[in-house]
Amino acid sequence: MHTRCALVGMPGSGKSTVGRQLARRLEVPFLDLDHRLEQVLGTSIRAYFEQHGEDSFRERESALLAEVAAQPGDMVLSTGGGVVLRPANRAALRDFGHVLYLRATPDEIFKRVRHDKARPLLQVANPLERLRELHAQRDPLYREAAHFTIETGRPTVSTLVSMIVMQLEMAA
């Protein structure tokens, strides 16, 4: 099965974890866009945000996404939570391959990431409220970009991977 798919969703929705397992199951390369960005930037995303601001970060993110999307071959791509904010990125993702929205509620995400200090957008007085705001803003954009929405609330990672594989097989 020829497979090019990208995972989108809120920070903490499981894109990297599920993406790694999905790529392993499909026997295709896995690329985490945030990790690649940190390599390119030579610093953490959080540090880059603090030094250069979100606009500069989004520019660099868009350029890297366009570069990755232009590469041929099978791949599972995990994206950053804010990649869908730019219309050009949503279009690039849809052109790249199947886009899967890993959907989780702000409360579920908060339980997963409340102790994670590496997420720049959550370093605020009330991270749960911030997650709710981000979700309200981004959920329609994830839905616009995605071919499929996968609810990540209860299932284990291996169950989610199996659900995604079934979606991809039916789409093929």
How many beta carbons lie within 10 A of that of residue 145, not counting itself? 23
According to the annotation, is 111 in a ligand binding site?
Answer: no
According to the annotation, is 162 in a ligand binding site?
Answer: no
According to the annotation, is 73 in a ligand binding site?
Answer: no
Q: How far apart are CA 102 and CA 149, in angstroms?
A: 6
| Pure H helices in 27-154 | 33-41, 45-70, 87-96, 106-113, 127-145
Which distant-in-sequence residues (6+ apart) come within 8 Å of 1 by Cβ? 26, 168, 169, 172
According to the annotation, is 13 in a ligand binding site?
Answer: yes
Q: How far apart are CA 16 and CA 35, in angstroms?
A: 10
According to the annotation, is 12 in a ligand binding site?
Answer: yes
How many beta carbons lie within 10 A of that of residue 43, not counting itself? 15
According to the annotation, is 81 in a ligand binding site?
Answer: yes
According to the annotation, is 103 in a ligand binding site?
Answer: no
Residues making up the binding site for ATP: 12-17, 119
Residues making up the binding site: 12-17, 34, 58, 81, 119, 138
Residues making up the binding site for substrate: 34, 58, 81, 138
Residues making up the binding site for Mg(2+): 16
